[in-house]
Amino acid sequence: LIDRRDKNMLDLLCRLIRGAQDPPEQLSIASDSLEELMNISSSTLERTWLEFIQANGYAPPDKGQSLLKKHNTRPDYAYSQHSALIYIDGSHHRGQRRRVMDTDTTRQLEDEGFTVVRFNEDRTSWKRVVDEYAWIFGPGMSSSQNQNT
């Protein structure tokens, strides 16, 4: 039984109507090295995020700055094997207009089959985010392992 008057259900049904059978946009197969990822990072915050990933023993992304033409977006990083796209959102993402654009982009990408993970400039939240998506980032090093390195 489907309640077509329910706002969430109506939204889902409308997205299904607009759906297409085109295969999802693919990321290129070649992987970028950590050094290449550092070099193509467009902000200090992105490089700091890569350093956080490396220092804590999480799996690094395999792509950086890949343009997804169909969605007119360039995620900061990608984990191709998991179809996961990573955005490192700095202070310019705080504005209402930008947040609406980000939400729309995320919805479109998720409808296409991608997992979208956003990290904001609050570095204290990064551990919580990687833990939530451990199936992408891996378990990382425990605190004691990290202190011994």
Q: 60, 66, 62, 71: which is closest to 42 by C-alpha?
A: 66
**DSSP line for 61-107:** PSEES--BGGGTB--SEEEGGGTEEEEEE-GGG-SHHHHHHHHHHHH
- Residue 84 has phi, psi (to 5 degrees) of -110, 135
Q: 42, 95, 90: which is closest to 65 by C-alpha?
A: 42
> What per-residue confidence (pLDDT) applies to 144?
44
> What per-residue confidence (pLDDT) applies to 30?
55
- Report yes or no: 43 and 60 within 8 Å, Cβ to Cβ: no
- Report yes or no: 62 and 107 within 8 Å, Cβ to Cβ: no
What's the CA gap between 74 and 55, in Å, rounded? 25
Q: Is the pTM of this model over 0.75?
A: no
Per DSSP, the three-state class of 116 is: strand
> What per-residue confidence (pLDDT) applies to 129?
96
**How far is residue 37 from each of residues 33, 66, 105, 133, measured CA to CA in Å?**
6, 11, 23, 21
Q: What is the mean pLDDT of each run of 10 residues along the chain (149 residues)?
A: 73 66 50 78 89 95 90 92 92 76 92 94 94 95 53
